[in-house]
């Protein structure tokens, strides 16, 4: 190792990721020798704020932790509070919760596919995948009235029903998306130039994945068979079981394949669900005050396990709500895996976990020693693309 | 033997009290001095994974805080409950056994003012650089503007 070591701060403004985080990379030439992270740029103090609002107001606040996976936050919260109150939402409501959660997963995975393709310099894939994502966005809008923050949940049930017209839009949308997903699977596992950026990059064995605490598709791409929808079924997942998608290679390519194959599973689940949607009420009565106690609610968000700890002291406001989002768990893997990789691989490594900073923040100050230069995310992305172009 | 009974077996030497708050859950009361031994025992037996660390402030009157270490294995959730005095809020770091706990411990320290001794990176994770010293936002009596 040479004596020359440079510290490269990246962020916190990331024009490409549209979300703020700060990474400090130590490099020896082109090789990363150390990495640290600081978050907090989108921290809004939600865990504190929920303690001074009532149970109903908190539903709206917690749904806004994340703009991408808003519904799953609301679902985790509702299931937890209902458990404390000794109330169970009707079967039709539980099925609609699953329906919206799976539509949200489609939107989230396609959004990620586009962002990841863009980081690799494959903007055609980015634009096509985002065009296709509009299909599910329109379904969500027709179903809930909103493209994001669907506000589908109520304490004790859901707000809306699925009518025949929406049913047809969903089914035809799924047929189109299924064809497109097969096409994307061919691209990410067959395009030679794209594979240069993903195959054998960011390798993580299943032992490493366990040691680094990763979760969701990132863990499943390393052979860790863990999915809360199967391990601890919630809402209506016991009625609509899914096959857990696992790959064992543990590189970036595997993370693409896992997410795309999960989409195929999701299409299948939604069709089964719509085929046998239980009849009945959409909501049940909830008390204003929630019985004293503590509960834990675990759900499978698009990025992995989302964990809620909810404590009530018997009042109309929670005593404490602790939220552990999947990105926080996955972040440790980025700083660990970065070491030994080329600087040019960093954008793809970070993107590989599908980071969601707003979820997280709720992570870095740069030590600039000697001469240093702050790189923007866009500059690093361009650097990565140019570096691989030169190598041919 | 189900997962929780296995955990009960593994931790029998250190746990002061067991509670079953819900199906699939066990709460184990552990003394701060025994925390490392219990976490080490779970790790030695490969029992589950640490999913989160929750800090609970019971308020100035109670004078007590709790740090909860949630471990999951399938549907089972085991919570190690460590009660500490509010005036001398401190727990040992579990990072030597579970390296990724670092981010959880940094959050616990800055949000609730619990000293995590031996933690590899004691710097702030979420709070801004100009956040005042000794103001811990998730304490019940925190005075925030």
Choosing from A307, A326, A345, the residue where a domain stops is A326
Residue-level pLDDT at A17? 61
- Are residues A79 and A19 part of one domain? no
Axis crossing angle, helix A70-85 with helix A91-119, rounded to the nearest 10: 150
Mean pLDDT of all residues in B43-67: 94
Q: For residue A225, which phi and psi values (nearest 5 degrees)?
A: -85, 90
Asked if residue B110 is part of any domain, the answer here is: no
Q: How much of chain B, in percent, has pLDDT values that exceed 70?
A: 99
**Quick one: CA torsion of A96, A100, A105, A107, rounded to 10 degrees?**
150
Burial bucket for residue B129 (CB in 10 Å: 0-12, 13-18, 19+):
exposed
Of A356, A327, A46, A347, the closest CA to residue B100 belongs to A327
Residue A364: the pLDDT is 28
Do the strands B76-85 and B64-73 form a parallel or antiparallel pair, or are they unpaired?
antiparallel
- To which residue do tokens 């703009």 refer? A67
CB atoms closer than 10 angstroms to residue A382: 15
pLDDT tens for A309-357 read: 999 999 999 999 999 998 888 877 877 778 888 777 777 777 777 676 5
Query: Across-strand partners of B82?
Result: B30, B67
CATH for A297 = 1.10.645.10
Residue A263 contacts residue A245 (beta carbons within 8 Å):
no
Minimal C-alpha gap between B127 and chain A (Å): 6
Structure-token pair, residue B118: 């031996």
Q: Which range is least confidently modeled, A10-19, A68-77, B89-98, B134-143? A: A10-19
pLDDT, tens digit only, all 392 positions of chain A = 456 678 888 777 664 466 777 777 888 888 888 887 777 777 888 888 999 999 999 999 999 988 888 999 999 999 999 999 999 999 999 999 999 999 999 999 999 999 889 888 899 999 999 999 999 999 999 999 999 899 999 999 999 999 888 999 999 999 999 999 999 999 999 999 889 888 988 888 999 888 888 999 999 999 999 999 999 999 999 999 899 999 999 999 999 999 999 999 999 999 999 998 999 999 999 999 999 999 999 999 999 999 999 999 999 999 999 999 988 888 778 777 788 887 777 777 777 776 765 555 543 223 334 455 566 667 777 777 787 777 76
Residues A149 and A199 in one domain: yes
The predicted-structure confidence for A158-212, as pLDDT tens digits, reads as follows 999 998 889 999 999 999 999 999 999 999 999 998 898 889 888 889 998 888 8
Same structural domain for residues A211 and A350?
no
Percentage of residues of chain B with pLDDT beyond 90: 74
Q: Is residue B73 part of a domain?
A: yes
**The residue count for chain B:** 145
Distance CA B21, CA A86 (A): 13
Residues pairing with B27 in the sheet: B19, B79
pLDDT of amino acid A360: 52
Same domain, A126 and A150: yes
pLDDT of residue A129: 95
Listed in sequence order, the residues at least 6 apart from A71 whose beta carbon sits closer than 8 Å to its beta carbon are A63, A97, A100, A101, A104, A150, A152, A153
Which of B24, B46, B61, B72 to mutate to test binding with chain A, by most A CBs within 10 Å of its CB? B72
Q: For residues A39 and A72, state if they share a domain.
A: no
Q: Is A48 close to B24, i.e. CB distance below 8 A? A: no
Q: Based on the domain organization, do A317 and A345 belong to the same domain? A: no
Helix residue spans in chain A (DSSP H):
46-49, 55-63, 70-85, 91-119, 123-144, 164-190, 192-198, 206-212, 216-220, 228-231, 252-275, 326-338, 346-352, 357-360, 377-391
Do A174 and A223 fall within a single domain? yes
A308 lies in the same domain as A374: no
Closest CA to B137 of B115, B112, B114: B112
What 3-state class would DSSP assign to A278?
coil
The mean pLDDT of B68-82, rounded to a whole number, is 96
The count of structural domains within chain A is 2
B42 contacts in chain A (CB < 8 Å):
none
pLDDT of residue A14: 64
User: What is d(CA A235, CA A229) in angstroms, rounded to the nearest whole number?
Assistant: 9
Q: Which domain covers residue A132, as residue numbers?
A: 46-326
Are residues A248 and A358 located together in one domain of the fold? Answer: no
In a domain, residue B21? The reply is yes
CATH code for the domain of B73: 3.30.460.80
Q: In the prediction, which pLDDT does A321 show?
A: 95
Domain holding B66, by residue range, is: 3-87
How many CB atoms lie under 10 A from the CB of residue A238?
12
Question: Does B9 fall in a domain?
Answer: yes
Does residue B78 come out as left (phi exceeding 0), alpha (psi in the -120 to 50 range) or beta? beta
Report the distance separating Cα B105 and Cα A322, nearest Å.
Answer: 14
For residue A197, give every residue at least 6 positions away whose Cβ sits within 8 Å of its Cβ, in sequence order, or none: A120, A121, A252, A348, A388
Helix (H, G, I), strand (E, B), or coil: what is residue A343? helix
Name the residue of chain A whose CA is nearest to B43's CA: A211
Q: Distance between alpha carbon B64 and the CA centroid of its chain, in Å?
A: 14
- Kindly state whether residue A308 falls inside one of the protein's structural domains: yes
* Residue B70 binned pLDDT confidence (cut-offs 50, 70, 90): very high
A309 and A258 assigned to the same domain:
yes
- A227 and A280 together in one domain: yes
Chain B residues touching chain A at CB-CB below 8 Å: 21-22, 24-25, 49-52, 54-56, 68, 70, 72, 74-75, 77, 79, 98-104, 111, 121, 123-129, 137-138, 142, 144
Q: Which of B49, B111, B129 sits opposite A213 (nearest CB)?
A: B49
The pLDDT value recorded for residue A229 is 96
Domain shared by A244 and A315, yes or no: yes
B72/A38 CB distance under 8 A: no
Residue A219 burial (CB < 10 Å; 0-12/13-18/19+)?
A: buried
Residue B66 φ then ψ, to 5°: -130, 145
The residues pairing with A71 across neighbouring beta strands, listed in sequence order, are none
| Site from A22, A52, A324 to mutate, B interface, most B CB atoms within 10 angstroms | A324
In angstroms, rounded to a whole number, what is the distance separating the alpha carbons of residues A34 and A341? 10
* Whole-number pLDDT of residue A346: 77
Average pLDDT over residues B85-104: 93
Does the distance separating the beta carbons of B52 and A212 come in below 8 Å? no
């Amino acid at each position: 190792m040479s004596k020359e070591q440079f510290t490269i701060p990246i962020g916190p403004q990331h024009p490409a990721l549209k979300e703020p985080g700060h990474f400090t990379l130590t490099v020896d030439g082109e090789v990363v020798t150390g990495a640290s992270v600081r978050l907090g740029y989108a921290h809004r103090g939600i865990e504190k704020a929920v303690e001074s609002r009532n149970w109903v107001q908190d539903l709206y606040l917690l749904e806004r932790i994340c703009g991408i996976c808003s519904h799953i936050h609301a679902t985790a919260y509702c299931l937890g509070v209902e458990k404390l109150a000794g109330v169970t939402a009707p079967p039709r409501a539980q099925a609609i919760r699953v329906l919206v959660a799976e539509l949200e997963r489609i939107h989230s995975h396609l959004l990620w596919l586009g962002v990841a393709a863009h980081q690799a310099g494959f903007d055609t894939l980015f634009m096509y995948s985002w065009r296709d994502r509009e299909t599910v966005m329109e379904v969500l809008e027709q179903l809930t009235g909103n493209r994001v923050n669907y506000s589908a949940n109520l304490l004790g049930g859901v707000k809306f029903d699925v009518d025949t017209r929406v049913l047809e839009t969903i089914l035809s949308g799924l047929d189109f998306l299924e064809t497109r997903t097969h096409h994307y699977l061919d691209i990410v596992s067959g395009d030679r130039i794209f594979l240069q950026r993903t195959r054998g990059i960011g390798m993580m064995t299943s032992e490493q994945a366990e040691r680094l605490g990763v979760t969701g598709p990132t863990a499943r791409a390393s052979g860790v068979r863990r999915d809360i929808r199967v391990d601890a079924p919630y809402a209506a997942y016991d009625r609509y079981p899914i096959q857990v998608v696992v790959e064992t290679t543990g590189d970036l390519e595997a993370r693409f394949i896992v997410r795309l194959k999960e989409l195929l599973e999701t299409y299948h689940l939604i069709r089964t669900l719509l085929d046998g949607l239980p009849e009945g009420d959409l909501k049940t009565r909830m008390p204003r005050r929630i019985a004293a106690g503590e509960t834990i609610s675990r759900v499978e968000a698009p990025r992995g396990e989302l964990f809620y700890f909810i404590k009530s002291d018997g009042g109309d406001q929670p005593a404490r709500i602790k939220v552990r989002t999947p990105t926080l768990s996955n972040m440790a893997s980025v700083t660990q895996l970065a070491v030994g990789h080329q600087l040019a691989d960093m954008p793809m490594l970070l993107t590989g976990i599908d980071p969601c900073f707003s979820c997280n923040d709720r992570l870095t100050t740069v030590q600039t020693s000697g001469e240093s230069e702050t790189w923007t995310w866009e500059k690093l992305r361009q650097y990565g693309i140019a570096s691989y172009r030169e190598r041919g | 033997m189900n997962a929780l009974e296995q955990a009960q077996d593994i931790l029998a030497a250190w746990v002061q009290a067991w509670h079953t708050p819900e199906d699939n859950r066990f709460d184990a009361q552990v003394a701060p001095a025994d925390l490392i031994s219990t976490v080490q025992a779970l790790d030695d037996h490969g029992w589950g994974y640490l999913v989160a660390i929750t800090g609970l402030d019971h308020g100035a009157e109670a004078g007590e805080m709790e740090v909860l270490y949630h471990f999951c294995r399938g549907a089972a959730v085991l919570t190690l409950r460590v009660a500490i005095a509010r005036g001398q809020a401190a727990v040992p770091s579990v990072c030597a056994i579970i390296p990724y706990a670092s981010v959880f411990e940094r959050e616990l320290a800055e949000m609730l003012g619990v000293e995590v001794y031996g933690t590899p990176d004691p710097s702030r994770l979420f709070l801004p650089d100009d956040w005042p010293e000794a103001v811990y936002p998730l304490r019940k009596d925190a005075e925030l503007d």
